[in-house]
Amino acid sequence: MIGTLQCVVLDCPDVLELARFYEALLGGVVDQPDPRWAVSDDFSTLHTGFGLVFAFQRVEDYHAPRWPDAARPQQFHLDLDVPDLERAQEQVNALGATLLRADPRGWRIFADPAGHPFCLLRG
């Protein structure tokens, strides 16, 4: 095992609206204080009662998925806590991931072998 799932992040045009939707669907607390994230007009969270955290990230000019239309696929990414960022990068690269960006705030964004983005965060 390389890391643990921190949260599932969904792209959307209105972060609070989608957080409230999932709050009604799953229960939990919207924008609960958590040192891992800074909530804003562009980023909201939902801490569920069963331990999973969802995050909602505003995307300008958002285009909703049209499942099963491959031209407009599903959109999300995973955030994974890792104890050693350098070692985790070596491991995911060996598995076929591609580094897309090293964020100066301390995480790294990769694409899986199929192109889906995921982030490694120092846990």
Residue pLDDT, tens place only, 17-27:
999 999 998 99
Mean pLDDT, range 69-76, rounded to an integer = 85
Max CA separation in the chain (angstroms) = 40
pLDDT score at 113: 84
Q: Letter for the amino acid at 117? A: P
Q: Letter for the amino acid at 4? A: T
Residue pLDDT, tens place only, 107-121:
999 998 878 889 999
Contact 87, 38 (CB under 8 A): no
What are the extents of the domains in the chain? 4-122
pLDDT score at 47: 98
How far apart, in Å, are the Cα atoms of 67 and each of 18, 30, 38, 39, 73? 18, 27, 31, 29, 6
Mean pLDDT (the chain) is: 92
Mean pLDDT, range 59-85, rounded to an integer = 88
CATH 3.10.180.10 is held by the domain 4-122: yes
Distance (Å, rounded) from C-alpha 30 to C-alpha 120?
Answer: 23
Distance (Å, rounded) from C-alpha 23 to C-alpha 49?
Answer: 10
Question: pTM of the full predicted structure?
Answer: 0.80
Work out the pLDDT band at 40, boundaries 50, 70, 90: very high
